[in-house]
Amino acid sequence: MKISKTILLVLLLVSAIEVCQAQVKLPQIIRDSMVLQRNNTIRIWGWANQGEEISVKFNGKTRSTVASSKGDWQVDFPKMKAGGPYKMVIKASNEITLDNILIGDIWLCAGQSNMVHQLDIHDVTYADEIKNANYYEIRHFKIPTQTNLNAPAKDFEGGAWNKAVSEEVRSFSAVAYFFAKKIYEKNKVPIGLINASVGGTPIESWISEEGFKEFPDVLKTIDRNKDTTFLNDLIRKNKEFETQHPKTTIDKGIAAPVKWYESDFIPKNWRSINIPGYWEDQGIRNLDGTVWYRKEIDIPATMVGKQAKVFLGRIIDANTLYINGKKIAETTYQYPQRRYPIASDVLKPGKNTFVIKVTNYNNKGGFVPDKPYYLFAGNDTVDLKGTWHYKVGEVFEPKPIPSFDSPINTQNQPAALYNAMIAPYTQLTFKGLLWYQGESNTGEPEKYGAFQETLIKDWRKQFQQPNIPFIYAQLPNFMDVNYTPEESKWAEFRAAQMHGLHQPNTAMTINIDLGEWNDIHPDNKKDVGERMALAAFRLAYNEDVVYSGPLYKSHTIKGNKIIISFSHIGSALITKDNLAPHHFAIAGSDKKWVWADAKIEDNKVVIWNENIPNPKYARYAWADNPDNPNLYNKEGLPASPFTTE
């Protein structure tokens, strides 16, 4: 019987598809250069066709299994000591070889932007660290940002293990890098960092649906988000709304016959303004829109023909930079520091036209004070601060408020990031968990403590490590300095973060001295990471070290004085500047707070105010950005803000 060419082609195609489907597949996290946890059972898993026979050879041992009816398979290897590099070979109908595998300690590093921030973003502060990085046995895997509103995913897309060497280290989380470096230099054991962090995300995104069993309102939201009809309806309504209310204004600087950034544009009737500074503080009232800044900058001949760099601090919110009519760079949101390279053919001797288009969407717009604003090339530097000229390009017209919900931001939805960025590798064993998050929850501090305890318990359950060390960063000082005793959402939030310490084997690093008033992403990531490492030495490596600053423990009232006791006083309580303890407040039963005098006595702090004869409450460093909170232990770790209410 003759088989037609068409039938033969179909049979070959079907056969090829079956072979393709039978190919054994590994999760993204199981890759070349990975680190696996020492002194614990090592689990390797993946997928194949039902009944597919799989063997895995690793470090002289072989394990075999058969894929389940759903195509899942896994094998376990016995505990192994630190070492490597090793090779792993996975054989089925196909063969996969993984190289350069280390056995050491894995740490999950999670949270929002301050955990995201790569060394590359802070490459001025840490230029020498990047240049001299040569830690082949410190590895970092950044989980790419993705979401899942429906269920825990089996895998995620993308990602690779990078080594802490040369330029490759730039992609590392800065906090995680300094944490790992501190531990590696002491223990000389390979360190693996799995970085699951997304800027601007709330804690609810990172907790599993199962973890919310005591939060019925959250579970309702999760169920609603699984309804694709509901989500598609929101998208449709918003598209209709945008069509019915189109943008009616245009930017004059872009629409002009000669655009305002072009070299042959001649400015007329532009007003004076200073950089840095916000335009609402310089004669522009309540403007949401675009403002164009312009200045002729004198460039010495010695800077021409060289690679240059311009620092424009931080700009609220978005900006585009032009030099001599050429677009140099743009940033679409307010948080990154503006550090832009300039090609060697852009600058010319003498007058150079700098134009910056700034877009602001709400609140104050402009250039954040107390940041660097200058241009440099080689050994030459030109200051960019001072008087510029400006003209308003566009005034945003307020839109009517829609009568329906806007489309949801999926990365901010409960369980969405857990499902996509944590669930796919709960089969792994970790040495410990690091958490730096909270800025997105400061608006509702009263809810955070319960969520934080829930996260700790949930992850310990999901990873089947009921007592795994959990180390987290208390938020640092931020925003304007407070000089009077006031209420503070950030202070309330820091107090809420202390709820995590109710769970066993947890530690909170105190960072009230590491922030910047004008930057929610402070440059000092090294001390944050190293303080986390101190906590790890105690919780994960059982070393007898002082790993926390003083924490409020109790207080007594004697006459007109409140006597405050602390845990984690180390060798002794001190003030870092050898002055009296500062930023303590005191109140009677009316809760009218006033500053208190304070002194250290027998490793306790005694506070009083002569105008408060019957004190009842005490506070310390209770502010968004307290002025000189100087209480430390002798080991150099700051005391945590607190209230006795």
pLDDT of 6 reads 52
Please state, in angstroms and as integers, the Cα–Cα distance from residue 279 to each residue in 85, 327, 330, 363, following that order: 57, 23, 20, 11
pLDDT over 70 percentage in the chain: 97
Kindly state the DSSP code that residue 212 receives in the 8-state scheme: G
Q: What angle do CA 172, 173, 177 make, to 5 degrees?
A: 75
pLDDT mean over 202-228: 97
Do 435 and 111 form a contact (C-beta atoms < 8 A)? Answer: yes
The whole-chain average pLDDT of the chain stands at 95
pTM of the model: 0.93
- For 447, what's the count of Cα atoms within 13 Å in the CB-facing half-sphere? 12
Do 165 and 136 form a contact (C-beta atoms < 8 A)? Answer: yes
pLDDT mean over 49-64: 97
Q: Please state which of the ranges 14-28, 337-351, 386-400, 557-571 shows the lowest mean pLDDT.
A: 14-28
- For 245, what's the count of Cα atoms within 13 Å in the CB-facing half-sphere? 11
Please state, in angstroms and as integers, the Cα–Cα distance from residue 26 to each residue in 49, 90, 158, 235, following that order: 13, 9, 13, 35
In terms of residues, how long is the chain?
A: 645
- For 344, what's the count of Cα atoms within 13 Å in the CB-facing half-sphere? 5
Flag whether pLDDT at 79 surpasses 70: yes
Phi-psi region of 188 (alpha: psi -120 to 50; beta: other; left: phi over 0): left
Do 246 and 336 form a contact (C-beta atoms < 8 A)? Answer: no
Could you identify the residue written with the tokens 């060394």?
Answer: 119
- Could you give the CA distance from residue 488 to residue 477 in angstroms, rounded to a whole number? 11
Strand partners, 44: 75
pLDDT over 90 percentage in the chain: 91
136 by Cβ neighbours in 10 Å (0-12 / 13-18 / 19+) ranks as middle
- DSSP-derived secondary structure for 496-540: HHGGGGGSTTEEEE--TTS-BTTBSS-S--HHHHHHHHHHHHHHT
pLDDT of 15 reads 42
- Residue 625: pLDDT band by 50, 70, 90 thresholds? very high
Flag whether pLDDT at 239 surpasses 90: no
- Could you give the CA distance from residue 135 to residue 177 in angstroms, rounded to a whole number? 10
Number of H helices, E strands in the chain: 11, 36
In the three-class reduction of DSSP (H, G, I as helix; E, B as strand; rest coil), residue 205 is classed as helix
pLDDT of 22 reads 56
pLDDT per position as a tens digit, 438-490: 999 999 999 999 999 999 999 999 999 999 999 999 999 999 998 999 999 99
Closest to 494 in 3D by CA, of 411, 551, 425, 566:
551
Radius of gyration of the chain (CA): 29
In the three-class reduction of DSSP (H, G, I as helix; E, B as strand; rest coil), residue 615 is classed as coil
188 by Cβ neighbours in 10 Å (0-12 / 13-18 / 19+) ranks as exposed
Q: Which two tokens stand for residue 596?
A: 């208190």
- Residue 398: pLDDT band by 50, 70, 90 thresholds? confident
pLDDT of 13 reads 47
Cis peptide bond prior to 85, omega within 30° of 0:
yes
pLDDT per position as a tens digit, 242-282: 888 888 889 999 999 999 999 999 999 999 999 999 999 99
In the three-class reduction of DSSP (H, G, I as helix; E, B as strand; rest coil), residue 329 is classed as strand
pLDDT of 356 reads 98
pLDDT mean over 193-206: 98
Helix 489-497 to helix 445-462 angle (10° resolution) is 30
pLDDT per position as a tens digit, 566-577: 999 999 999 999
pLDDT per position as a tens digit, 128-176: 999 999 999 999 999 999 999 999 999 999 999 999 998 999 999 999 9
pLDDT of 269 reads 95
> To the nearest 10°, the Cα dihedral for 612, 616, 619, 622?
-90
Q: If DSSP states are collapsed to H, E and C, what string results for 553-576? A: EEEEEECCEEEEEEECCCCCEEEC
> To the nearest 10°, the Cα dihedral for 37, 42, 48, 54?
130
- DSSP-derived secondary structure for 236-270: HHHHHHHHHS------HHHHSSS-TTSTT----SP
pLDDT of 5 reads 53
Flag whether pLDDT at 4 surpasses 90: no
pLDDT per position as a tens digit, 503-560: 999 999 999 999 999 999 999 999 999 999 999 999 999 999 999 999 999 999 999 9
The dihedral sign for the CA sequence 465, 37, 176, 626: positive
- Residue 14: pLDDT band by 50, 70, 90 thresholds? very low
Please state, in angstroms and as integers, the Cα–Cα distance from residue 551 to each residue in 507, 533, 539, 597, following that order: 11, 18, 17, 20
Q: Which two tokens stand for residue 154?
A: 């089996």
